[in-house]
Every structure is written in structure tokens, then in C-alpha cells.
Amino acid sequence: MGLLQKHLGQLEAYSGIRRAGADPFQVAFDAVLSPTEGLINGKRVILLGTNNYLGLTFDQESVEASVEAVRRWGTGTTGSRIANGSYGAHTQLEQSLASFYGRKHAMVFTTGYQANLGVLSALVGRGDHLILDADSHASIYDGARLGHAEVIRFRHNDPEDLYKRLRRLEGQPGDRLIVVEGIYSMMGDVAPLREMVEVKKETGAYLLVDEAHSMGVLGEKGRGLAEAAGVEEDVDFIVGTFSKSLGAIGGFCVSDADDFDILRVVSRPYMFTASLPPAVVASTLKSLEKVEADGALRAQLMANAERLHAGLNALGFTTGPKASPIVAVVMPDLPTALSMWNGLLAGGVYLNLALPPATPNNRPLLRSSVSAAHTPEQIDEVLAIFEWVGREFGVLPSLDQRAAG
Amino acid sequence: MGEVVADLTVREIARAAETVLGQPVVLTPATDIARDLAVDSLALMNIVMELEDKFDLSIPLDRMALVQTVGDLASLIDELRTKA
Ligand SMILES: Cc1ncc(COP(=O)(O)O)c(C=O)c1O
């Protein structure tokens, strides 16, 4: 064991999970048939945990653009942009993002994770204050650790708590940067952005919104929560990813901040990793056009989200309060969560098993993400399987019990 | 005097831990937070948030890097309080 001895606790927990059935963290697909269907061990499953919100992974034009780019520009850039230079498409993507958001500047990173690392570590430094929502994504926490600012958490989605914590910093020197997410990745809940903007203005802080799960999903034009809440002017930085609604991989930051481009030579997660391959940039550019042009995809996504959310609640499952493309079913405990997850997979539904401490309130979650590409029939099939498995494992009362009660 | 302050702080830490963990907690300054209390990093951050409210001060997370025992945490809080 040696060096890995320190992970003994995790090792035991993980072994326990694997003994319960399939390994939820190493699911292997034989094939991906479409944005909503895959094959696991020869069995067809509905994909309900892929963050493929608009179903663009198999979009014909995006695929063709990717194929053409790989033929013309090769398979990879083999280095970072400061060392190996930029390809035309990198710059074009940055211009397209800036224009999509109506901002002066845009910068592309190799993943959304790295975008948070690169932006948070460079925007605030020693003597500054980073104020994070307690339920922030790991990449935000890790970005906070990479920099040297003082890090304070506020209670999840609680503008009053945010205000209180900023007030405590009164009189201390240094800049303040508040970080929130558009849609939270575990429960699918949305930040009360207008109220947070009020707090930001009153306390003279800057505001960054990570729109990873809300880009392409919220707002009339798909620009995310800032657009939907009508506060884009008061959001100083937007971070996002190409790995969800845009169906590829990569991250970005857009802003109107003066001298924004200095980040390219001070942000280590931008400087010291290879840039996105041309094929990825090409499909992302195409998908961004679709996000901008095709409001019908968003409407379909929301209709599907509502169908799943309403259906699960009607069955008696505990979910978040409002329909959102992320629908999480709260599980009473780990053994039940494992049985349910395995039962759903065996029944033909693939979704995410989310475990504490990554989940709020220390509860395991069955986290699903809906796609515009799901058909109503697929959602109904999912609900039927959920009902069956829920009764099997006692999350829902069995039918006889109900008749008796 | 310092001892007394630390004692009160330790008691508040116990109270905060009980709130977050939802169970009775017995601790002394020597209690190792991760090992003896079986508190993971998230629960610890939540305990810190409770303590910030109790003492009406900011406990930056980066200052928690050197905190291993309840005594370490109490000293950090007392230091931050005298500064405030
Ligand atoms: C809120 C949030 N930010 C950032 C990321 C990272 O995105 P990427 O997959 O591009 O690294 C994620 C994805 O899991 C996320 O949920």
C-alpha cells in the first residue's frame, strides 16, 4: 500500500459501493447510439445523466465541422497557446463568445474546471477576499486554493448571509469577489441573482457567475441566469464550459474588464496546458450558433424537465422544489441509493449517483439531467422504471401496502 | 485568563460541531478534528461557518490549513477575535 495508505477510508467506502453491484464511477459504454441512448453490456439504456442539455453531441453540422477541422488542422495543437500559438479557430471562438455575450473580451480554456482555476486564482490575490457559495463546485474550491486570497463561504443561495459576511469584512483592505453558479449542478436550483447583485452593489464587491449548467439553458438567447434575471450589466465575469449544452469540451471566461488579456500571461491554468484541439473548437463554434439561433431547443428541454420533475413528484419521490434540467431525487441513505441506482441501470436508465460530501445536506442523490433530445416517450419510460424500482426498494410504498393502507 | 477564554471557545466549538453533525459531541483542546471527530472537510467548513456567526468574525478557509486539533481552532479564533 505505502503512499496510498492515507486513502484507506475512501478505499473501504469505495469497495462497499462496488460490492453492491456495478461500479457507479466506472460505467463503461459499449456504444453511444445517440444523445439519449447508449449500450452497456449489450443492453440499451436511456442516458439521463450526461449534461447533454441540448442534445448537440451528434448534431450533424457540428460533427461535419469537427471532421473537416481535424482533416485540415490535425488532431491536436500539442501545446499551449503562449508556447505553440493560436489557431484561427481559437481566436474566432473567442470573438464568437464575446459577441454572444455582448462583452468586450473572451478567453478560452481547455476545460471549465481549468477556467475556474485560471480565473479565480488570477483575479484575486493576497489580501483580497473570495466569497463563495457553500455549495460551490469543486473547481471553484480548487481555484480558491490555487490563489492566495482569503476565502469565506456563505450559506447556499442566501443573499442575507452573503451580506452579513461581507459586512464583517468592512474596514479590511483588498478587493472582494463573490462567486455563484447559475444552476447548481447537484439539485438544479438557481441562484437568487438579483438579490445578490443588490448585495454586490451595496458592498462594492465584484461578481462572477459560473454558468456551466445554465448556458444554453436559461435566458431567451441562452446566455444563462444573468440574462434570465436581467442583470448582465452587473455581472463582472462569466465563466462557463463547452462540456454541457455545447456538447464538446472546454471552458471560457467573458468580461468587459479593462486589461482582461493580461490573464493570458498570468493565469497558470491557461499558460501551462495544451490548448483545445481544432476539432473541438470547430464543433463548439457550430453548437454556439445553434444555441444562439434555436430557442426551440430550450423550450423542448424545459418541457422535458417539467415532465420528468412532475412525474417523479407524482410518484412520491423527493426532488428539488422546481423543475430544472437537473432533477435530483433525494435518497434516504447510501444502501438505498446504491440499490436504486443499480436497479435503474438494470432496468435501462443510466443516471448519476452523487454522494456526500459532493451533495448538499449529506444526502445521497440520484442525479439526472434531461436533454432536449429526449422524447416524451423516453421520459415516460424512465418514470415507469423509476416507479418499479422505487417500489422494489421501499422508497415508494409497495402497491399492496397502499391498497391495505 | 487566556485559559478561560480558550475554554469558552472550545465549548462553542463543541456546540457548533453538534449543530452541524446533529449529534452530541465531547471534545477537549487535544481532540484531533479529522481523526477523533471523524469530521470531513465539508463538515469542518460548516462548523467554521457556525463559529463565524457565533463570534461575528471571519475565519478565512486558508487559515484552516494548519488547524488539526480543537485547540488549534480555538487559538485561531481567539487570535482573530483580539485582532478584530
Ligand atoms: C459549476 C461547474 N463549474 C465547472 C465545471 C467544470 O466543467 P468542465 O467539465 O468543463 O471541466 C462543472 C462541471 O462539472 C460545473 O458543474
Instruction: Indicate the number of domains in chain B.
Output: 1
A405 CB within 8 Å of a chain B CB: no
More confident position, A268 or A10: A268
User: Residue B17: pLDDT above 70?
Assistant: yes
Task: Among A293, A318, A337, give the residue marking a domain's end.
Answer: A293
The residues pairing with A241 across neighbouring beta strands, listed in sequence order, are: A251
Q: Is residue A196 part of a domain?
A: yes
| Nearest protein Cα to ligand 1, atom 12 | A212
| Nearest protein Cα to ligand 1, atom 7 | A112
A378, containing H or E segment: helix A376-392
Instruction: Check residue A268 and give its pLDDT.
Output: 97
pTM exceeds 0.90 for this model: yes
Instruction: Check residue A20 and give its pLDDT.
Output: 86
Task: Among A177, A362, A363, pick the best mutation site for testing chain B contact (most B Cβ within 10 A).
Answer: A362
Task: Among A142, A145, A168, A179, pick the best mutation site for testing chain B contact (most B Cβ within 10 A).
Answer: A168
- Residues of chain A in contact with residue B59, where contact means CB-CB under 8 angstroms, are 152
**Cβ of A113 below 6 Å from ligand 1:** yes
pLDDT single digits (tens) A342-390:
999 999 999 999 998 778 878 899 999 999 999 999 999 999 999 999 9
**Could you tell me which of A141, A146, A138, A142 has the C-alpha nearest to residue A121?**
A146
Residues A198 and A168: beta-carbon distance below 8 Å: no
**Cβ of A243 below 6 Å from ligand 1:** yes
Does residue A393 share a domain with residue A332? yes
Task: Among B23, B50, B52, pick the best mutation site for testing chain A contact (most A Cβ within 10 A).
Answer: B52
**Cβ of A137 below 6 Å from ligand 1:** yes
Does residue A236 share a domain with residue A88? yes
Q: Is residue A21 part of a domain?
A: yes
pLDDT band (50, 70, 90) for residue A22: confident
Query: Residues A147-158: what's their mean pLDDT?
Result: 96
pLDDT single digits (tens) B26-68:
999 999 998 888 788 888 999 999 999 999 999 999 999 889 9
**Cβ of A136 below 6 Å from ligand 1:** no
Give the number of the atom of ligand 1 that is nearest the alpha carbon of residue A185: 16
Q: Is residue A113 part of a domain?
A: yes
Q: How far is the CA of A265 from the centre of ligand 1 (A)?
A: 23
pLDDT single digits (tens) A315-332:
999 999 899 999 999 999
Q: Is residue A181 part of a domain?
A: yes
Residue burial A33-55, b: 16+ Cβ < 10 Å; e: rest:
eebbbbebeeeebbbbbbbbbbb
Cβ of B12: how many Cβ atoms within 10 Å?
16
ipTM of the assembly? 0.90
Highest mean pLDDT among A24-33, A174-183, A351-360: A174-183
- The interface residues of chain A toward chain B in range 164-193, judged by CB-CB distance below 8 A, are 164-165, 168-169
Which are the catalytic amino acids of A? Answer: 185, 213, 244
Instruction: Check residue A240 and give its pLDDT.
Output: 98
What range does the domain containing A361 cover?
A: 16-47+295-404
Residues A129 and A177: beta-carbon distance below 8 Å: yes
- Residues of chain A in contact with residue B62, where contact means CB-CB under 8 angstroms, are 145, 148-151
What range does the domain containing B27 cover?
A: 2-83
Does residue A67 share a domain with residue A33? no
User: Residue B4: pLDDT above 70?
Assistant: no
**Cβ of A116 below 6 Å from ligand 1:** yes
User: Residue A89: pLDDT above 60?
Assistant: yes
Rg (CA), chain A: 22
Does residue A66 share a domain with residue A24? no
Task: Among A293, A323, A344, give the residue marking a domain's end.
Answer: A293
User: Residue A86: pLDDT above 60?
Assistant: yes
Task: Among A242, A259, A293, give the residue marking a domain's end.
Answer: A293
Instruction: Check residue B1 and give its pLDDT.
Output: 42
CATH number at residue A244: 3.40.640.10
3-class DSSP state for residue A133?
strand
Q: Whole-number mean pLDDT of chain A?
A: 95
Rg (CA), chain B: 12
Q: Is residue A358 part of a domain?
A: yes
User: Residue A305: pLDDT above 70?
Assistant: yes
**Cβ of A139 below 6 Å from ligand 1:** yes
Give the number of the atom of ligand 1 that is nearest the alpha carbon of residue A116: 4
Give Cβ neighbours of residue B68 (< 8 Å, ≥ 6 apart).
B32, B33, B34
Query: Residues A115-124: what's their mean pLDDT?
Result: 98
Give Cβ neighbours of residue A402 (< 8 Å, ≥ 6 apart).
none
CATH number at residue B69: 1.10.1200.10
Does residue A80 share a domain with residue A26? no
The residues pairing with A83 across neighbouring beta strands, listed in sequence order, are: none
User: Residue A403: pLDDT above 60?
Assistant: no
d(CA B4, CA A401): 58
Q: Is residue A66 part of a domain?
A: yes
Instruction: Check residue A9 and give its pLDDT.
Output: 83
Does residue A271 share a domain with residue A300? no
d(CA A291, CA A312): 28
Instruction: Indicate the number of domains in chain A.
Output: 2
Comparing CB atoms, the residue among A149, A165, A357 nearest residue B58 is: A165
pLDDT band (50, 70, 90) for residue A405: very low
CATH number at residue A384: 3.90.1150.10
Does residue A71 share a domain with residue A195? yes
Q: In a mutational test of the pocket of ligand 1, which residue from A241, A243, A252, A273 has the highest number of ligand atoms less than 8 Å from its CB?
A: A241
Does residue A69 share a domain with residue A112? yes
Cα separations (Å) of A207 from A39, A97, A123, A132, B46? 42, 19, 11, 10, 23
Q: Which residues of B touch A (CB under 8 A)?
A: 40-43, 45-46, 48-49, 52-53, 56-63
